[in-house]
Amino acid sequence: MSAEKVAFFILSGLTLGGGLAILFSVRLMRAVVYLLVSLFGVAGLYILLNAEFLAALQVLIYIGGITILMVFGLMLTGPGQFVNPAESRLKAVAAGVSSLTTAIVLLLIVKKTKWPAGTQALAGDTTAEIGRLLLTDHVFAFEIASVLLLVVLVGVALFVRLARDGGKP
């Protein structure tokens, strides 16, 4: 087995193991830490694919941004058990059914997709190429995403204002 394969199995183990641990942990803060592990695994997989820029983005945005925001929100919760699995039978059944359907659909898609195995060598420096593509071929999607984010930003500011000023815009 080559070193790359070993690294692949370790990293995918981290990713999947982290994901499973999130599912089975009942403490929210620990779940966030497992999420961190899982995201790290994904970043490592990106590095294996020579997509260093994506890996760094993954770390910067998901670990540095998303998980920290989650932690910021969760910080006001206590350290004890937060989720009680035996709380509601109905909820458990509903969750089971929905996740089962999602799993089946996903599996079907995975099976149906032909995974094209790339034969050409991996690109050396992906950063410049990503930048070029974002501002030429995919500029529309890029701008749409920015506009969406801007709308969200303004909307949140507006809502906070409304709440603070007592409903008068």
Residues 6+ positions from 77 with CB-CB distance below 8 Å: 28, 29
In whole angstroms, the minimum distance from the beta carbon of 90 to another protein comes to: 31
Question: Which residues form the interface with another protein (CB under 8 A)?
Answer: 3, 27, 29-30, 33, 36, 52-53, 56-57, 59-60, 63-65, 67-69, 71-72, 74-75, 79, 124-125, 127
Least distance CB 29 / another protein (angstroms): 6
Please state the closest distance from residue 152 (CB atom) to another protein, in A.
15
Q: Which is nearer to another protein, 2 or 113 (CB)?
A: 2
**Residue spans of alpha helices (H) in 65-114:** 68-74, 89-112
The phi, psi pair for 76, rounded to 5°, reads: -85, 0
The tokens describing 36, both together, are 């961190």
Comparing C-alpha atoms, which of 58, 59, 43, 33 is closest to residue 11?
43
By C-beta, is 72 or 140 nearer to another protein? 72
